[in-house]
Structure 1
Amino acid sequence: MIKENSIIRKTDVINRRMFIIGAAKFIVFAGIVARLFSLQINENKKYLTLSDKNRIREWKLPPTRGDIVDYFGNVIAGNLKVYQLHIIPEQIENFNYLISRLKALLELSDKKIENIIKTKKKIKPWESIIVSENLSWSQFLKINNYLYDLVGVKPVMTISRNYPFNDMYTHVLGYVSQPNEEEILNNDIVAERFVPGMKIGKLNLEKRLENYLIGTNPIQRYEVNAYGKRINQLEFQKGEQGSRVRLTLDTEIQKSCAKLLNNRAGSISVMDIFTGDIIAMYSSPSYNPNLFLFGISNDEWELIRNNPLKPLINKSLSGLYSPGSTIKPIVALSALENNVVDTNFKVKCTGKMELYGQTFHCWKEKGHGVVSLKNAMKQSCDTYFYEVARLLGVDRLNVTAEKFGLGKKVLGDYFEIEKSGLFPNTKWKKNNLGKGWVLGETLITGIGQGYIQTTPLQLCLMTAQIANGGYPIKPKIVVNNNPLSIEEAKNLMLEEAQKNPNKKLFKNEKNIKIIQETMFSSTNERFGTSYRSRIDDPKYQFAGKTGTAQVKRISKRERELDLDIEQIPYKDRDHALYVAYGPYVNPRYALSIIVEHGGSGSRTAAPIAKELFKLIIDRHELRNQQSNFEEISI
């Protein structure tokens, strides 16, 4: 009996233990099932995404920049296909053999080979090394013909920036190149879209409009193995090209400017006197921005940098020059506006003027005789303007000059390199030089010499605002949405001036007309300084003012020698200037021309205007009727 009870108790213990174990197994199994259900059903998307991240990788490619076009839609900064050569180290069987073969096929320099070896040490084995960014077609064919012997080599076709007009627009557009660390950090959009091989604007409009031009990255998606090596391309997502930007410039006129300057140091600027559109802005000499796309050679860089004519300087915006006699219309206008002189005021010119023991010479040694305002402007009599400046004073002259754009940036929003220039007054000299103004400085300021410094574009703006009747305009080089025709812009300008008298740059409209008439006589009447460059046809007839700016003080001996320009050392020759607007009846365009060390404005600069105005006027109707494109708003 005792033995039987013992067996029963043992059986109960075993049954309880089996039940506990079974229950535990059930709980564990239920937990596993629940967890599996949670992982595979409830959190399916989460772990699928994590899995894909381990299995799938994205590679961003360099974005395609937007095109820059001229007013008529001609591409002046675009993109073209280029052929590159990449190598993938992990696929190379014998690296030294491959490098020696590429060196022979492509004629690579020892320095280039050294850079490839250094790059190989820095990157992962499956990452590409760019051997050449710009293979010629013949080189590309040669590589493809020898691919059987070049294991690990990958010929690639991609997109790069291109400037089809070479040096024609360099000082307007700038160029692109690979960004440095500071440029990446300072621009959030560049930082977000940066990939090796991407190029950004380094200068001028390419830099200023970077955020509009940059585009979005194309994306390649690849399946990779556990080591990160690409196995298979799954998808290619095309990026969006950057915005297209339309400029106000006319390529045909820009070409003509380059041809007329003919590699002489100087600048030509052309402006619409109502809309403020910059029609042409050419600085000479220039350089080819395509040289910078794939890294300029030391020899090419030294040729550009050491050129005595300074092709790196944008003379239209950064060149500072004494305006010479081109300032005389503003001097005369200021004197008329301040009731200092009138059209009957006369001065006797004997060829020089004495003041406190100092002699101020007129350009004509024997003088012009008795001259009025019209004859003084026509013959550019210095003595007359010495006297007018003396009576006017530099402070009142400064007010008028600044109204018409002198001493201020014209396109400062677009170009970091633009300089303000200087139109001095008594306060400026005291604050900056710590000295008081003297009367002799007023006299030479009245003929555009002394402290005064202007850019060619400022002189163009000054002339444009004289030509349009004395109304302010805001120059621009990028076409905004819905651009106005010239007639619409003119009417709007006049309407605003009627509503707001402060929109006028003059006190008496009659004074502006007097200046316009004197500029006409300077070009179109006998004895005018630019009479030989006149055009009799009213369609092309223009009014202008010559200028000759000294670059050094002329000694008494040099004045007595009276040397021809060819006998004077190049750097000692005067700068030649000319400002003009046309056609004289119903004017539409203004221009400024400067030829560094070109001698006299009448001899060198004015004939350029004669050739240029014919083209400008002939293209007016084409411009005015040009249909709109899609443009950006800046």
Structure 2
Amino acid sequence: MAKDQHKEKGRLFTRRALMMAGGQAALMSALAGRLYYLQVLHSDQYTTMADENRMNIQLLAPLRGQIVDRFGVEIASNRHNYRVVLIPEQTKSVEDTLEALAQFVPYDEIDRERVLKEVKKKRSFVPIPVVDNLTWDQFARINVHSPDLPGIQMDVGATRNYPYGDLFAHIVGYVGAVSEKDLQTLEADPLLELPEFRIGKSGIEKFYDKPLRGKAGYSRVEANAYGRIIRELNREEGTPGTEAVLTIDKKLQEFTAKRMGTESAAAVVMDIHSGDILSMVSVPAFDPNAFANGISSKEWKELVSNSKRPLGNKAIGGQYPPGSTFKMIVALAALEAGVIVDSHEVFCRGHTNLGKHRFHCWKRGGHGKLNLEDAISQSCDIYFYDIARKVGVDRIAEMAHRFGLGEKLDIDILGERAGLIPTKAWKYAVQGVKWQVGETYNVGIGQGFVLTTPLQLAVMTARLANGGKIVNPRLVRSVGGRDTDAPLLGDPVASDLPSIGITPSSLRTVLRGMNKVVNGKRGSARAAKIKTEGWEMAGKTGTAQVRRISKKERIEGVRKAHEKPWEERDHALFVGFAPYNDPRYAVAVIVEHGGSGSKAAAPIARDLLQETLRLDPLRRPSHDVLARRKPGDTDA
């Protein structure tokens, strides 16, 4: 019995030993398999993960996309930025090195103080920028004397360049450093963290900042425990930003700016069918290069203290009473409402009474008996007081909105303002009082509460000239690709556009009146007519008061514009289109405190339309495209 029990215990021990041995073998097999998986199959991956402890990835800023005019002329590009950096650990005395550097390149005390502060903050091997935007001669001179400048290294980067200075400042805008507010409001992008990265701050640069910005590249570098870079392991360049093609014609833009001179003024030239803005100028302007490179406090103070507001884009953000340029809207409202016909006549004796108030015409002795066409051509105020009272302010407002007034037109730059087209409901909501008939009189001549922008007036004129079609302004032709051989093909024509809904006979009457303004014997702008056959211009003058004329002034005689302080002079306006018999281009001009629209604004508009017709940017792709081609390019 004892012998059998002993044998049974032996067999039990053997089974347990075998089970333990099998378990150990299984564990060893699993461990070996895992080691093989880690050390053989995925050795590269884990080697890289271990190397991450001593490797850093640095972002590389891409080149910003170019901005070009309709013919491919670069108006915002990138140029080499030759600069000097200092590595403190490579010099015994930072101050001695900076003093020696001053013999070859000028820099002010502010830069010197900044460098010395950064030396104290940063590790001694970190490069510190000293001077940016050196000329090639300065860069070469420092390179030649580099042995005498310990710690100084030369560097070449890229910076934004605006080759035409202030010519496109209000359209293109400028770039600037990323602010704390930008980091909070913009969509997350690692590029924004780069200390020297620039983003769009205004104009096209800001509106299309994301596609112009491009995508970052990277450089993988080996660094020690202190962050010192030992070597670059590999590099992948970023994707440059896309190109933006504008509708602007650089040649016409140059002419417009030159013609406007030193006035405080704005002008817009546009195609009446496609809505292409061919020229948009606001003067005075500013140099965007100053902002891209870092504007000084002195320059900034000069800009913000200038009474002519060079930083503001008057073409889209300036709000002005349209004066008599608004009379076509009043006429159309009255005709379409059926309260008058085109033969409706009014006798102007120089004034009219409304209760105890007297409303005056600009012509002291009056115009006599006038029909609608003559009232437009001679800009009779009494006539438009009469028809404005008949049609009412609300129907005038409805017609104004049809022509793009009193609302934003969504052009591709920020800063556009809507202007104001008043109604009875608007006044009651804003001021809590009822509308008065005398206020309708003021609206009838484009005064009172009415405010418009030069861009809106250009669009209004384009919609009149193209037969009453809804054309909208366009400043950008494409972003990220274009057909350079045919940049002007495929534009819509008037027949492709939706109609405003104006009776053709009403529109013809108004256009005939605009033709007489310039080409009639008694037109208010007859001195500004275009004499070239086939190029004749039609238009409308406007003179907008900035202050009310007192009764005493009327009795004693209103002072001439040159006798008043600049800020008390009337604004001068003109809107027009050409050619009259085959309309294609529209223009709007305002000269702040310019006095008379016929004397100050109409001659400018005439010259702009003449130059536009001479250049004919909508029909001249061949020469400009050929001029851009490189040797070896062939026709498709």
TM-score normalised according to structure 1 size:
0.89
Partner residue, 2:17: none
Partner residue, 1:343: 342
Partner residue, 1:202: 201
Q: 1:578 to 1:537 in 2, by over 3 A?
A: same
Give the whole-Å Cα distance in 2 for the aligned partners of 1:27 and 1:339. Answer: 101
- Offset at 1:35? 7.5
Partner residue, 2:221: 222
1:58 is aligned to 2:54: no
Partner residue, 2:230: 231
Partner residue, 1:436: 434
Give the whole-Å Cα distance in 1 for the aligned partners of 2:570 and 2:142. Answer: 56
State the SS of the aligned residue for 1:479.
strand
Answer yes or no: is the 8 Å Cα contact 1:103–1:109 preserved in 2. no
- Offset at 1:34? 7.3
- Offset at 1:537? 2.5
1:607 is aligned to 2:603: yes
Q: Deviations over 1:164-195 (max 9, x none)?
A: 11001111111101111221233235445541
Give the whole-Å Cα distance in 1 for the aligned partners of 2:341 and 2:490. Answer: 35
Aligned length: 597
Give the whole-Å Cα distance in 1 for the aligned partners of 2:30 and 2:482. Answer: 69
What is the aligned-residue identity percentage?
A: 38
Partner residue, 1:16: none
Partner residue, 1:100: 99
Q: Deviations over 1:88-120 (max 9, x none)?
A: 233333333223333454343332222112222
Q: In terms of mean alpha carbon deviation, does 398-407 or 39-48 score higher? A: 39-48
State the SS of the aligned residue for 1:317.
helix
- For 1:46-85, list aligned pairs within 5 A: 46-85=45-84
Answer yes or no: is the 8 Å Cα contact 1:83–1:137 preserved in 2. yes
Partner residue, 2:578: 582
Q: 1:125 to 1:373 in 2, by over 3 A?
A: same
1:533 is aligned to 2:528: yes
Give 2:495's aligned amino acid.
Answer: L
Give the whole-Å Cα distance in 2 for the aligned partners of 1:623 and 1:157. Answer: 42
State the SS of the aligned residue for 1:252.
helix
1:571 is aligned to 2:567: yes
Selected match of 2:546 from 538, 544, 551: 551
Give 2:276's aligned amino acid.
Answer: D
- Offset at 1:261? 0.9
Q: 1:470 to 1:91 in 2, by over 3 A?
A: same
- For 1:475-514, list aligned pairs within 5 A: 475-480=473-478, 489-491=491-493, 493-495=494-496, 503-514=498-509
Q: In terms of mean alpha carbon deviation, does 194-203 or 96-105 score higher? A: 96-105
Partner residue, 1:375: 374
Q: 1:453 to 1:205 in 2, by over 3 A?
A: same
Give the whole-Å Cα distance in 2 for the aligned partners of 1:621 and 1:68. Answer: 18
Answer yes or no: is the 8 Å Cα contact 1:189–1:211 preserved in 2. no
Give 2:419's aligned amino acid.
Answer: G
Answer yes or no: is the 8 Å Cα contact 2:352–2:360 preserved in 1. yes
Give the whole-Å Cα distance in 1 for the aligned partners of 2:414 and 2:102. Answer: 42
State the SS of the aligned residue for 1:541.
coil
Q: What are the ranges of 5 or more consecutive residues in structure 1 without an aligned counterpart?
A: 1-25, 497-502, 630-634
Give the whole-Å Cα distance in 2 for the aligned partners of 1:401 and 1:28. Answer: 87
Give 1:199's aligned amino acid.
Answer: R
State the SS of the aligned residue for 2:316.
coil
Q: Deviations over 1:487-541 (max 9, x none)?
A: 96454x4256xxxxxx321341111111111100111011101111111323321
Q: In terms of mean alpha carbon deviation, does 348-357 or 618-627 score higher? A: 618-627
Partner residue, 2:263: 264
- Offset at 1:579? 0.1
Q: 1:373 to 1:90 in 2, by over 3 A?
A: same
Q: In terms of mean alpha carbon deviation, does 238-247 or 126-135 score higher? A: 126-135
Partner residue, 2:19: none
Q: 1:448 to 1:543 in 2, by over 3 A?
A: same
Selected match of 2:453 from 429, 452, 455: 455
Give the whole-Å Cα distance in 2 for the aligned partners of 1:495 and 1:628. Answer: 27
1:354 is aligned to 2:350: no
Q: 1:307 to 1:473 in 2, by over 3 A?
A: same
Answer yes or no: is the 8 Å Cα contact 1:352–1:383 preserved in 2. yes
Answer yes or no: is the 8 Å Cα contact 1:529–1:546 preserved in 2. yes
Give 1:450's aligned amino acid.
Answer: G
Partner residue, 2:172: 173
Give the whole-Å Cα distance in 2 for the aligned partners of 1:298 and 1:558. Answer: 44
Q: 1:33 to 1:126 in 2, by over 3 A?
A: farther
Give 2:268's aligned amino acid.
Answer: S
Answer yes or no: is the 8 Å Cα contact 1:269–1:593 preserved in 2. yes
- Offset at 1:216? 2.2
Give 1:382's aligned amino acid.
Answer: D
Q: 1:580 to 1:115 in 2, by over 3 A?
A: same
State the SS of the aligned residue for 2:286.
coil
State the SS of the aligned residue for 1:131.
strand
1:251 is aligned to 2:247: no
Answer yes or no: is the 8 Å Cα contact 1:538–1:585 preserved in 2. no
TM-score normalised according to structure 2 size:
0.89
Partner residue, 1:302: 301
Answer yes or no: is the 8 Å Cα contact 2:249–2:617 preserved in 1. no
Give 2:601's aligned amino acid.
Answer: A
Q: In terms of mean alpha carbon deviation, does 431-440 or 303-312 score higher? A: 303-312
Give the whole-Å Cα distance in 2 for the aligned partners of 1:178 and 1:198. Answer: 6
Answer yes or no: is the 8 Å Cα contact 2:170–2:203 preserved in 1. yes
Answer yes or no: is the 8 Å Cα contact 1:62–1:197 preserved in 2. no
Answer yes or no: is the 8 Å Cα contact 1:82–1:159 preserved in 2. yes
